[in-house]
């Protein structure tokens, strides 16, 4: 008997594991009819997940934390038992701003580019405006961290606004923003259209950061079909990470139902090929990945380390002005990202305790 699961996603390359699970038949192999619902924004996805319109979602890593704590929205208990992708974000600046940043000798050194940007920003009236995809996102923290390394205060010296990922390129074209931090393929699309230049990537700032997770409402998580979904996603993630499958994967993701972006741009992203400022071609195999390096089911040693820093997301929320919560919420966070008995075999398969909380979200305490 086939059981239906409805999953929401935002059009980004890191929805690839869900797409492959459906299109390559991994979900069907485990008796699931995986229906994918394309959302226009993270706010829409969050609301539909909260209300139970969908069963699960391709979610920003901090999103289930924010929902469970009731930070910035209603309170909905969630867990995140599976990492769908690590890395994949980048900062792109407009062509005009890039021309003003020509004091940099290279555009592949994050510290140098942030310092050059600081000098430009001090001369700008009104201040520079940058887009981020959502307040509770790695994009917000990545951009703030990078700006701060060059001496800019993200709340006083520049203006940060929330824009859905699919609208970032159009916002740059319209002159509404001077740059943005977003996931793939939107940075590469802006470069391909001559609208901007990539100046820093998430993998340069925080290598192997957990970027997207599978988010579930706790009330849904105990259903037997969820375990089968995780098994299907594990198989799909291994398929997605194999370079031999990237051409087929790019053809799936390019469809209007998913990203509606050219296969060539998507294939380049999957291969870690990016074009920075001054025409610098960068090949970073770990720019975005889906299964290797124990991406989906962390080893026990990782689980203990991340559990010990369970308050890091709350601290980060407070530092970006998104609302503080007391340390009494630590037990709540442990429920979202508690220790998971992940097996440590070479295939990285999910262990029997995979649904007892998640170790999926990496605690990048150095970012706070």
**What is the predicted pLDDT for the residue at 364?**
33
What pLDDT does residue 332 have? Answer: 55
Q: How far apart are CA 56 and CA 220, in angstroms?
A: 8
- Which residues, in sequence order, are CB contacts of 186 under 8 Å at separation 6+? 12, 92, 165, 166, 168, 169, 180
Residue 48 CB coordination number (10 Å): 16
37 by DSSP, 3-state: which? Answer: strand
Structure tokens belonging to residue 177 = 């923003």
The pLDDT value given to residue 149: 95
User: What are the pLDDT digits (tens) for 343-360?
Assistant: 233 233 443 334 433 322
CB atoms within 10 A of CB 260: 12
Give me the pLDDT at residue 123, please: 92
CA 217 to CA 222: how far, in whole Å? Answer: 10
In whole angstroms, what is the distance from residue 252 CA to residue 23 CA?
8
CA distances from 123 to 116, 118, 120, 175, 200 (A): 12, 9, 6, 18, 22
List of domains in the chain: 3-86+211-260+298-367 (3.40.190.10), 89-207+274-283 (3.40.190.10)
The dihedral sign for the CA sequence 97, 103, 109, 111? negative
Closest-CA residue to 11 (of 265, 295, 202, 193): 265
| Number of helices followed by number of strands (H, E) in the chain | 17, 13
pLDDT at residue number 222? 86
pLDDT score at 333: 55
pTM, two decimals, is 0.86
Burial class (CB in 10 A: 0-12, 13-18, 19+), 192: middle
% of the chain surpassing 70 pLDDT: 79
Find the helix or strand (DSSP H, E) in which 5 lies. strand 3-9
In tens, the pLDDT along 203-251 reads 999 998 899 999 999 999 888 999 999 999 999 999 999 999 999 999 9
Q: pLDDT under 70 in the chain at which residues?
A: 104-106, 278, 297-368
CA distance 145 to 311: 19
């Amino acid at each position: 008997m086939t059981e239906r699961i409805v999953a929401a996603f935002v059009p980004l390359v890191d929805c690839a594991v869900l797409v492959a699970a459906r299109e390559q038949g991994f979900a069907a192999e485990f008796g699931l009819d995986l229906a994918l619902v394309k959302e226009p924004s993270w706010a829409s996805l969050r609301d539909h997940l909260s209300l139970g319109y969908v069963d699960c979602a391709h979610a920003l890593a901090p999103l289930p934390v924010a929902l469970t704590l009731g930070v910035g929205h209603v309170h909905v208990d969630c867990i995140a038992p599976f990492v769908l992708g690590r890395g994949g974000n980048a900062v792109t600046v407009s062509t005009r701003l890039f021309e003003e940043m020509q004091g940099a000798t290279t555009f592949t050194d994050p510290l140098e580019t942030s310092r050059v940007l600081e000098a430009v920003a001090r001369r700008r009236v009104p201040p520079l405006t940058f887009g981020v995809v959502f307040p509770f996102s790695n994009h917000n923290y990545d951009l703030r961290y990078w700006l701060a390394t060059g001496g800019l205060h993200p709340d006083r010296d520049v203006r940060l606004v929330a824009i859905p990922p699919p609208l970032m390129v159009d916002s740059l074209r319209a002159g509404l923003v001077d740059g943005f931090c977003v996931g793939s393929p939107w940075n590469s699309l802006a470069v391909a259209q001559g609208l901007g230049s990539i100046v820093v990537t998430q993998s340069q700032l925080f290598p192997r950061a957990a970027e997207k997770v599978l988010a579930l409402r706790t009330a849904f998580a105990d259903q037997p079909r969820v375990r089968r979904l995780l098994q299907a996603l594990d198989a799909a993630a291994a398929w997605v990470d194999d370079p031999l499958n990237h051409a087929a994967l790019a053809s799936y993701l390019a469809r209007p139902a998913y990203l509606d972006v050219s296969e060539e741009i998507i294939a380049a992203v999957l291969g870690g090929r990016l074009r920075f400022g001054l025409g610098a071609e960068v090949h970073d195999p770990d720019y975005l990945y889906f299964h290797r390096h124990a991406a989906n089911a962390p080893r026990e040693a990782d689980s203990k380390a991340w559990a010990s820093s369970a308050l890091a997301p709350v601290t980060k929320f407070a530092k970006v002005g998104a609302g503080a919560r007391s340390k009494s919420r630590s037990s709540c966070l442990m429920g979202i990202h508690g220790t998971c008995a992940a097996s440590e075999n070479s295939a990285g398969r999910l262990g029997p305790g995979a649904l007892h909380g998640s170790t999926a979200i990496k605690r990048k305490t150095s970012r706070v």
